Structure 1
């Protein structure tokens, strides 16, 4: 593991030097995106939950699992970070340009990238819970990971492992949690508590229940 930073030094330097040749406004966009992307994933979680309130119980279960699976991805990434005490490249790479954002203090280790792990986990979890969303979440996650190298606070291998680990953990978490969470959603939807039912929604209404009583039994 100690050799990984050395293997990434050249690519890190290339990206860092390229970053300093870009216009100031582009650098600012990268600086903002490196944090704003996480907020946008959060917005997608809320949107996915809201749209699933009128969907099937399975759709609601997947929508609820998406942020939970992402949280698991972060926990695994943080656990790996505490095991691999890798110094940040903005401090360790000789001759590297000054990072575009403040270099994290010593002890805030570099491997893997938590931002990338969260992005990878969120991209996979949202793709599993929202049909077609992968075409948005995958580019978002890749841009998030690249931005962490671009602003100078991570090696390329940090973000690559972060994306893969976060995505893998989220996939397993969603698959493992789908059935138990589905059971909880179905129980909640049959609850007598209005607040509980509002949180999970009433789901899809059948055509029979949507028709007037007279229409079901025939007009007399």
Structure 2
């Protein structure tokens, strides 16, 4: 690290970025063959919050006529996706496989930028809203959200910080909507 970068904002940003890349490299290299199809399946289900929207619809049909139990998860998923996808244009971070050509993603490569993760945003929004509205099912929803979020690192298309930022967006949107409407 150069002397003029030490202690400054650029130095902190560089350190965070380096730690993020190292953590990605560590996590991405750990592969267990039986887990790979599960991660591919999880990431497909998590696309645009699909699994969470369907789950909210099914839960609503079986739980009674409280429309808020359908609309809060749907709006949380949609809003978190819009915020995450819109933020990609602001940050324009290259995906791991574009920065390091030795990384071979295990799925078709997304064309959007990396930061923040839209899958993680919708997974957090869906898992949190559904866990609060249907607490009996939280032991399924919360790990499901974590699996979808982690799948993005495992498959080689996001850095850990992308996933964390996406999850924070989803959690914040879920918290605000739950406080207002639930």
- 2:75 is aligned to 68
Instruction: Work out which of the two has the higher radius of gyration on C-alpha atoms and give 1 or 2.
Output: 1
Q: Is the 8 A contact 1:74 1:118 kept in 2?
A: yes
Q: In the alignment, what sits opposite 2:55?
A: 44
Query: Is the contact between residue 67 and residue 125 of structure 1 (CA under 8 Å) also seen in structure 2?
Result: no
Partners of 1:18 and 1:97 lie apart in 2 by 13
TM-score, normalised by the number of residues in structure 2: 0.82
Q: Could you tell me which residue of structure 2 aligns to residue 32 of structure 1?
A: 41
Q: Name the CA shift for 1:46/1:63 in 2 (closer, same or farther; >3 Å).
A: same
How many residues in Structure 1 have an aligned counterpart in Structure 2? Answer: 168
Gaps of 5+ in 2: 1-9
Counterpart secondary structure, 1:133: helix
Q: TM-score, normalised by structure 1?
A: 0.69
Which blocks of at least 5 consecutive residues in structure 1 are unaligned? 179-220
SS of 1:31 mapped into structure 2: helix
Partner of 2:4: none
RMSD: 2.0
Matches within 5 A, 1:1-220: 3=14, 4-19=16-31, 22-23=32-33, 25-37=34-46, 38-54=49-65, 59-93=66-100, 96-105=102-111, 108-178=112-182
Deviation at 1:35, TM superposition (A): 1.2
